[in-house]
């Protein structure tokens, strides 16, 4: 049985997208908010582009680790008063909130010229979803075995909304958003505020 490289850098199905998320930052030095930052693994990567980083999460234990990379805020993203940002990211956190409310708040907190980047999970609901899940199973299993999976101890919740439901909400709240199915059972939403 493959056990993976236990000394390899942190990797999971979310961190596989971190290089892309870092590159998507609209400019160096952008004031950035990570919604549902957890232990701050993505914030640590974003330090290569900006030192004006903020993370918000409801889990105070996870935030203790994130505090080494960013200004951290303990609480509920939907109810907390926040300043504006140039880049707002949410990785595997949108399904923990009301989707429309979260997208609306992100849009309202974004400065002109800023960007929202969401990497999320959706419920497998259609024959296409199941087909993609089956086709992706073997490559996902091999990649996880080779890389070794290192999930931090954070709260996890299964998504309840389908890809189609999330896409409809994103198109309504964020006109012109680029919404795509992604590998590792994920989707991405990118939106630029012009």
Three-class secondary structure assignment of 44-70:
HHHCCCCCCEEEEECCHHHHHHHCCCC
- Extents of the domains making up the chain: 15-123+153-193
Closest CA to 77 of 105, 114, 117: 105
CA within 13 Å, CB half, 127: 0
For residue 149, the 8-state DSSP code is -
Does residue 71 surpass a pLDDT of 50?
yes
Higher-pLDDT residue of 69 and 104 is 104
Burial of 60 (0-12, 13-18, 19+ CB in 10 A): exposed
What angle separates helix 99-109 from helix 163-173, to the nearest 10 degrees?
A: 30
Does residue 7 surpass a pLDDT of 50?
no
Mean pLDDT of the region 15-33:
96
Mean pLDDT of all residues belonging to the chain = 89
Rounded percentage of the chain residues whose pLDDT exceeds 70: 88
Q: What pLDDT was estimated at residue 119?
A: 98
Here the tokens at position 10 are 């942190």
Note the CATH architecture for domain 15-123+153-193: 3-Layer(aba) Sandwich (3.40)
For residue 9, the 8-state DSSP code is P
Which pTM value belongs to this model?
Answer: 0.86
Q: What pLDDT was estimated at residue 1?
A: 30
Q: What pLDDT was estimated at residue 4?
A: 37
């Amino acid at each position: 049985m493959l056990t993976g490289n236990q000394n390899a850098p942190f990797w999971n199905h979310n961190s596989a997208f971190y290089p892309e998320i870092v590159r998507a930052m609209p400019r160096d030095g952008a004031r950035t908010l990570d919604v549902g930052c957890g232990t701050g693994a993505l914030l640590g990567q974003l330090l290569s582009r900006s030192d004006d980083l903020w993370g918000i999460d409801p889990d105070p234990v996870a935030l203790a680790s994130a505090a080494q990379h960013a200004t951290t805020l303990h609480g509920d993203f939907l109810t907390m008063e926040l300043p504006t940002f140039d880049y707002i990211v949410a990785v595997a956190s949108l399904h923990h909130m009301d989707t429309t409310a979260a997208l609306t708040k992100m849009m309202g907190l974004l400065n002109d010229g800023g960007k929202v980047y969401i990497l999320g999970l959706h419920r497998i609901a259609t024959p296409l979803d199941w087909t993609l899940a089956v086709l992706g199973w073997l490559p996902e299993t091999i990649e996880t075995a080779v890389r070794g999976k290192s999930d931090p101890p954070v709260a996890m919740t299964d998504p309840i909304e389908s890809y189609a439901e999330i896409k409809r909400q994103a198109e309504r709240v964020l006109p012109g958003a680029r919404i795509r199915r992604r590998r590792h059972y994920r989707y991405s939403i990118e939106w630029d505020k012009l």
